[in-house]
Amino acid sequence: MPDPSHATGFTLNTLDRKSAQREDPAFIAALLAAPSSRSLVLSADIPALKRAGDIHDAIFTLDEARAFGDPAETVFLGCHGERALFATRIEGAAHEAAPERDDLAFVDLRTIAAQGLVDPEMIGALSQAKSLLHWHQHNRFCANCAKPSKAAAGGSRRECEHCGRHHFPRVEPVAIMLVTDGEHCLLGRQAGFPPGMYSCLAGFAEVGETLEDTVRREIMEEAGVKIGHVDYFASQPWPFPASLMIGCTARALSSEITIDTREIEDARWFSREETRLMLAREHPAGLICPPKLAIANLLISAWATEKG
Ligand SMILES: [Zn+2]
């Protein structure tokens, strides 16, 4: 049985991260020398793709990756069977790199995922690469002593040679929740959403909170609705830059909405029938839900198609 999470974007990733073996520098060095090893290539956080007609491929040989110039960082993502997959970040103007290659395109990951330009499993690997390389780029100095740190264990952490402190990549937990009263669900919209789009409310977990408390606090802050029981439903890595969207369902104990206009511009209760029309993009007022790429779509779809 696939996890419900796998129905949404950025979630398929079957790389074996070799957590024990990657501690051994000789293991990583051998993979870096192996002809079968491959690498993803990102310029800042924009993946490079090879194009052959309508086919896009994110996987480069290590020689091809090196041809972009000295990498700013190379990290080990994991193995598919015997084949290792690395991710290489190249500096700055990658669009000008490898000028002899006219089969290259640099396409942001959101577009790659939305348009399904590469295999879904490779979108998961690109997501892992983007978040990890972004973390390395923005954590080059030890947070304890401020001396330069360096990548270790295949890039799964950074170490400070000066004070010995180890630093690990951050994942930022975000609660995203479908609130229902049984017959209606609560959806809101931010000012920056596309016209007519309503989605689940969401917010970052704060220090010292349970996930349930995050859900209750965010809904009270943004919409003034009191929440009772909270259930986990599914999750989604969201590589912008490194969140984990934790999808929940939550039961409303009150119905009056008081909007915090600093966070959202509207929030309303929608019937199942309305959400079905919004998902199908057939709502008479032109209202829509987020696309399948987003976990909000999964949360709303699961509820909309329940018998109610
Ligand atoms: Zn240090």
Residue 123 structure tokens: 């979108």
pLDDT at 22: 97
**Which candidate, 51, 204, 207, places its Cα nearest to that of 215?**
204
Q: Which residues of the chain have pLDDT under 70?
A: 92-100, 307-308
Distance from residue 51's CA to the centre of ligand 1 (Å): 43
DSSP for 51-105 reads EETTEEE--EEHHHHHTT-S-SEEEEEEEETTEEEEEEEE-S-GGGSSTT-TTEE
Query: Rounded to an integer, what distance in angstroms lies between the CA atom of residue 219 and that of residue 202?
Result: 8
pLDDT at 97: 56
pLDDT at 182: 87
pLDDT at 54: 80
Residue 98 structure tokens: 């490898």
The residue length of the chain stands at 308
Distance from residue 144's CA to the centre of ligand 1 (Å): 5
Distance from residue 167's CA to the centre of ligand 1 (Å): 9
Contact predicate 90/97, CB 8 Å? yes
Distance from residue 141's CA to the centre of ligand 1 (Å): 8
**Which candidate, 239, 89, 76, 92, places its Cα nearest to that of 170?**
239
Residue 175 structure tokens: 């609660």
**Torsion angle of the four alpha carbons 90, 96, 97, 98, in this order, in degrees rounded to the nearest 10:** 160
Which whole-number Å values give the CA distances from 27 to 152, 186, 274, in the listed order?
Answer: 12, 51, 55
Domains of the chain: 4-138 (3.90.79), 172-304 (3.90.79.10)
pLDDT at 125: 97
pLDDT at 102: 79
Distance from residue 166's CA to the centre of ligand 1 (Å): 8
pLDDT at 130: 98
Query: Rounded to an integer, what distance in angstroms lies between the CA atom of residue 245 and that of residue 205?
Result: 10
Distance from residue 140's CA to the centre of ligand 1 (Å): 11
pLDDT at 93: 59
Distance from residue 73's CA to the centre of ligand 1 (Å): 20
Residue 112 structure tokens: 């790659």
Q: Which residues surround ligand 1, an ion (CB under 5 A)?
A: 142, 144-145, 160, 162-163, 165
Distance from residue 148's CA to the centre of ligand 1 (Å): 8
Distance from residue 14's CA to the centre of ligand 1 (Å): 34
DSSP for 110-127 reads HHHHHHT-S-HHHHHHHH
